[in-house]
Amino acid sequence: MGTGIDLLIIEDEVRLVGVLLRGLGEEGFAVRIARTGEAGLAQAAEKDPQVVVLDVGLPGIDGFETCRRLRDAGHWAPILMLSAQATVEDRVHGLESGADDYLTKPFSFAELLARVRALTRRHRRESAEALTTGSLSLDPAQRRAWRGTAELKLSAREFDLLEALMRRPGHAVSRDWLLEQVWDIAYEQRSNVVDVYVRYLRAKIDEPFGTNSLQTVRGVGYRLTAESG
Ligand code: CA
């Protein structure tokens, strides 16, 4: 049975590309391949992918820069970044460039598949009821969100984070709770990924509008309020 999900792999290692192409193809993904970041950007421009597997080490522009350019060009598909490096700083760098998840080489195909599935499942999940918190509104089915009448341009993770917060309006929620809701794969406790994404979200839902709705609750975590000033 095929998922038919359009998946773009941007990776130059021929052997790894072969394994991914075969494995993901067998799982029913419609796989496209690019060997460089530039080629990947061109493929994405041709047809907006539904999920991207992106290597950091590429000839020409690297995966971080490719990721930034994909986001700048308005591609909001979830991006799983691959890297030979394992430090927390690298992972945060990857996430800061706009990636949604990060996998360190070497990895098993089963692990990659689990992460791709988690990203696409979340991306495709549909629960019909629209949410509102103050002047924020969000349509989970269409995956669109607005502040007043202005549509917000959010990455997949940013959208999921906002949705999680909007499902608990006015409540202080912990970083661990947000990690569970928004990141399927367990991150290290010390990871500051939630804080990084809260910063991204504030820059999109509050700062341009002069609002302060996404608040830090000392010793607890965060709270989204209907307060608009
Ligand atoms: Ca590579």
What's the pLDDT tens digit per position in 173-190? 988 888 877 876 555 555
Please tell me the distance from the alpha carbon of residue 47 to that of residue 64, in angstroms, as a whole number: 21
Alpha helices in 74-212 (DSSP H): 88-96, 109-124, 156-166, 175-182, 193-205
Which residue is it, tokens 């947000």? 178
- Displacement of CA 81 from its chain's centroid (Å): 10
CA of 206 to the centre of ligand 1 (A): 38
**Whether residue 38 has pLDDT greater than 50:** yes
CA of 81 to the centre of ligand 1 (A): 11
**Whether residue 108 has pLDDT greater than 90:** yes
Domains in the chain (CATH in brackets) are 6-127 (3.40.50.2300), 131-224 (1.10.10.10)
List Cα–Cα distances, 82 to 77, 78, 153, in angstroms. Answer: 16, 13, 25
Mean pLDDT, rounded, for 115-141? 79
Among the ranges given (28-32, 103-107, 128-132, 194-198), the one the predictor scored with the smallest mean pLDDT: 128-132
The per-residue pLDDT for 191 is 60
The per-residue pLDDT for 36 is 97
CA of 171 to the centre of ligand 1 (A): 43
- CA neighbor of 197 nearest in space, from 151, 159, 224, 140: 159
The per-residue pLDDT for 86 is 66
CA of 85 to the centre of ligand 1 (A): 12
Please tell me the distance from the alpha carbon of residue 10 to that of residue 81, in angstroms, as a whole number: 10
For residue 106, is the peptide bond before it cis, meaning its omega torsion is within 30 degrees of 0? yes
62-101 pLDDT tens trace: 999 999 999 888 888 899 999 887 677 777 777 778 888 8
Evaluate whether 80 touches 100 at the Cβ level (below 8 Å): yes
CA of 36 to the centre of ligand 1 (A): 9
Evaluate whether 154 touches 142 at the Cβ level (below 8 Å): no
The per-residue pLDDT for 18 is 94
Please tell me the distance from the alpha carbon of residue 22 to that of residue 167, in angstroms, as a whole number: 39
